[in-house]
A and B are shown apart, each in its own frame.
Chain A
Amino acid sequence: NAGVTQTPKFQVLKTGQSMTLQCAQDMNHNSMYWYRQDPGMGLRLIYYSASEGTTDKGEVPNGYNVSRLNKREFSLRLESAAPSQTSVYFCASSETINSPLHFGNGTRLTVT
């Protein structure tokens, strides 16, 4: 029972490079989310997908794009990475919007 799986676990990028963070859940949840976690700022919502086929912006969407590939998978893309995007990124899923979230173990991203 894997829950929410994120890849990669670690990544170092140079400014301007692009990358996609992958997330998959096996709980048959409808809603999926991307958060970033920074010291002193807590968890901040980047984008979410209430259900397959829909995506919406969260608090801090600038510099990111997302794709809800199917019910299981939700990816986060950085088109042109900036040092301000150095963070730990968490994917989460929930049965529906407003249900408790289940988190993956994060991707630690450093942009130099």
Chain B
Amino acid sequence: QKEVEQDPGPLGVPEGAIVSLNCTYSNSAFQYFMWYRQYSRKGPELLMYTYSSGNKEDGRFTAQVDKSSKYISLFIRDSQPSDSATYLCAFYTGTASKLTFGTGTRLQVTL
């Protein structure tokens, strides 16, 4: 079993839709949870960073963490064509120095 599972997509949605992106993980030592956005031919950029279970909101983006189910989500409200990118979940244990990434979900928002 992979340590992190993430549907590669592509996920196609119309402009204005609510998008839900998800990752499941198996390592119960993961304590820090991140979402990165990666545009084509660019490096990943940090979108959201959270430590605890529950929700964290930043503008149109909401990160949700459910440690008991080992499941994290990223919601994008009022999606825009500029949101078209690959979204990567990432995890730290807090003791190891290694950030574990999902393989990414490709999102396409169409007009």
A residues near B, CB below 8 A?
4, 31, 40-43, 45, 48, 50, 56, 58-59, 90, 92, 97-98, 100-106
Contact = CB atoms under 8 A, between A and B. Distances in A.
Interface in B11-35: 32, 34
Interface residues of B, number: 20
Q: Is the interface of B mostly helix, strand, loop or mixed?
A: loop
Interface string B32-54: 10100000011111100100000
B46 A42 contact: no
A45 B91 CA distance: 13
Contacts of A100: 34, 46, 49
Given A42-B88, A42-B104, A43-B88, A101 B42 contact: no
A48 B98 CA distance: 9
Contact of A58 (B34, B45, B98): B98
A50 B97 CA distance: 8
A78 to B, nearest CB: 20
A61 to B, nearest CB: 12
A101 B97 contact: no
Name the 10 nearest CB pairs between A and B, nearest first.
A103-B43, A42-B103, A43-B101, A97-B97, A105-B43, A42-B101, A100-B46, A103-B44, A100-B49, A98-B92
